[in-house]
């Protein structure tokens, strides 16, 4: 097991390097760096001023030197300041992170709560009406543009029935509300975003649970359990589920990055000031420091998630370690 972990860790080093080089290159290749962006507001700025700014941002240096300077700062967790307002990138991220994290954690909880029972049900009653219904639901779930679903729900619940607020995180004026009232107000704003971000995952997870369950139910030890006369409930929930659920738990590692990543599109539709929206703005305004400050940690988390998932698999299934 230890050898496997060490091997797997060493594999991450070139990937780490590649992630930073690629993201840095993509961001720096953009014509019109931060100096030019600032100049757009003052067209009369002289060529010398332009040059001074370029020097200030290090844009006059060759690519590999810029990269080295950036990397040196980055490893000490110094992400620099955002060009737009001069605030620390770290602060900007930290004020948005809780919002995205809350929404995604809630929706992940919702997904697991619904997907696991659905998956078990359609696996144990294979070919039944409910199984066929969920199969169709899975296909529709995979094919639905999330932002369209968001629009429909906004129209139905917000515009037509006036039941739920349609954008933002809280109402404009919350001064008169008690602490409880404020919490209620915020939860009402979260209902639609959480549901929409859960929707796509629901299809995928329930399918995954179902397929794992089906695979396990075909094993010999399940037949043995049935043969020795165990009640069906005990066969399904004790013998089958425990083995089928293991890969589902390890796959959670892969979901880790999307917990903090947030969705640029979703947050745009609902007007939520989260990580996705921040990244979207950063990329569009070519705010290198900010964009890199989000992109690179997100990529690292993805990799770490893969790592955890692999280790989890290896832990659960000794055959993998030998490969």
CB atoms within 10 A of CB 107: 23
Contacting residues for 144 by C-beta, under 8 A, at least 6 apart: 199, 200
Nearer to other proteins, 24 or 57 (CB): 24
Yes or no: say if 120 and 213 are a contact pair by the CB < 8 Å rule. Answer: yes
The alpha carbon dihedral of 204, 210, 215, 219 has a sign of positive
269 near other proteins, judged by CB under 8 A: yes
Nearer to other proteins, 47 or 284 (CB): 284
280 near other proteins, judged by CB under 8 A: yes
Minimum Å gap between C-beta 253 and other proteins is: 10
Contacting residues for 167 by C-beta, under 8 A, at least 6 apart: 154, 270, 271, 272
Stretch that binds other proteins, among 47-55, 70-78, 204-212, 225-233 (CB under 8 A): 204-212
- The interface with other proteins within residues 211-230 (CB under 8 A) comprises 211-212, 214-215
Give me the helices (H) in the chain, please.
2-29, 34-39, 47-56, 63-75, 89-124, 129-143, 146-153, 179-217, 220-227, 232-234, 241-261, 264-270, 275-284, 288-316, 318-321
Minimum Å gap between C-beta 184 and other proteins is: 24
Nearer to other proteins, 132 or 184 (CB): 132
Query: Which of 80, 164, 186, 204 is close enough to bind other proteins by CB under 8 A?
Result: 204
Contacts of 243-247 with CB under 8 Å at 24 or more apart are 243/216, 243/219, 244/123, 244/209, 244/212, 244/213, 244/215, 244/216, 245/116, 245/209, 245/212, 246/312, 246/316, 247/208, 247/212, 247/313, 247/316
Stretch that binds other proteins, among 23-31, 84-92, 178-186, 229-237 (CB under 8 A): 23-31
Query: Which of 303, 308, 315, 321 is close enough to bind other proteins by CB under 8 A?
Result: 303
Minimum Å gap between C-beta 270 and other proteins is: 11
Nearer to other proteins, 109 or 181 (CB): 109
User: Phi/psi of residue 288, each to 5°?
Assistant: -50, -55
- The interface with other proteins within residues 75-104 (CB under 8 A) comprises 104
277 near other proteins, judged by CB under 8 A: no
Minimum Å gap between C-beta 214 and other proteins is: 6
295 near other proteins, judged by CB under 8 A: yes
71 near other proteins, judged by CB under 8 A: no
Minimum Å gap between C-beta 14 and other proteins is: 5
User: Phi/psi of residue 264, each to 5°?
Assistant: -60, -40
Residue 18: strand pairing partners:
none
Query: Which of 120, 236, 240, 298 is close enough to bind other proteins by CB under 8 A?
Result: 298
Yes or no: say if 38 and 260 are a contact pair by the CB < 8 Å rule. Answer: no
Query: Which of 4, 5, 8, 15 is close enough to bind other proteins by CB under 8 A?
Result: 15
Binding string to other proteins for residues 130 to 169, with x set by CB under 8 A, is what? -xx--xx--xx-xxxx-xxx-xx-xx---x------x---
Spacing of C-alpha 160 from chain mean position: 31
Query: Which of 3, 31, 227, 233 is close enough to bind other proteins by CB under 8 A?
Result: 31
Q: How many residues bind other proteins (CB under 8 A)?
A: 73
Minimum Å gap between C-beta 178 and other proteins is: 30
Separation between Cα atoms, residue 210 and residue 126, nearest integer Å: 9
């Amino acid at each position: 097991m230890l050898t496997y972990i060490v091997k797997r860790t060493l594999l991450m080093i070139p990937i780490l390097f590649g992630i930073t080089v690629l993201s840095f290159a993509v961001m720096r290749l953009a014509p019109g760096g931060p100096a030019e962006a600032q100049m757009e507001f003052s067209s009369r700025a002289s060529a010398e001023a332009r040059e001074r700014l370029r020097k200030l941002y290090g844009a006059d240096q060759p690519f590999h030197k810029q990269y080295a300077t950036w990397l040196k700062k980055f490893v000490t967790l110094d992400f620099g300041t955002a060009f737009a307002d001069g605030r620390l990138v770290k602060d900007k991220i930290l004020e948005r992170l809780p919002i995205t994290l809350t929404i995604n954690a809630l929706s992940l909880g919702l997904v697991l709560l619904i997907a696991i029972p659905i998956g078990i049900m359609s696996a144990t009653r294979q070919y039944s009406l409910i199984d066929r219904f969920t199969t169709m639901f899975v296909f529709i779930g995979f094919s639905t543009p999330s932002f369209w679903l968001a629009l429909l729900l906004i129209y139905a619940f917000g515009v037509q029935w006036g039941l739920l607020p349609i954008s933002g995180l809280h109402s404009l004026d919350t001064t008169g509300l008690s602490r409880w009232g404020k919490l209620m107000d915020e939860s009402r704003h979260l209902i639609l975003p959480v549901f929409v971000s859960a929707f796509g995952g629901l299809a995928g997870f329930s399918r995954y649970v179902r397929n794992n369950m089906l695979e396990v139910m075909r094993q010999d030890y399940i037949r043995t359990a049935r043969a020795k006369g165990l009640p069906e409930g005990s066969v399904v929930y004790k013998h089958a589920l425990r083995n089928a659920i293991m890969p589902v738990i390890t796959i959670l590692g892969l979901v880790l990055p999307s917990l903090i990543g947030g969705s640029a599109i979703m947050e745009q539709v609902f007007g939520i000031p989260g990580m996705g929206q921040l990244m979207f703005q950063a990329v569009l305004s070519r705010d290198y420091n900010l964009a890199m400050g989000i992109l690179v940690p997100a990529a690292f988390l993805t990799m770490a998630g893969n790592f955890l998932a692999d280790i989890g698999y290896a832990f659960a299934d000794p055959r993998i370690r030998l490969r």
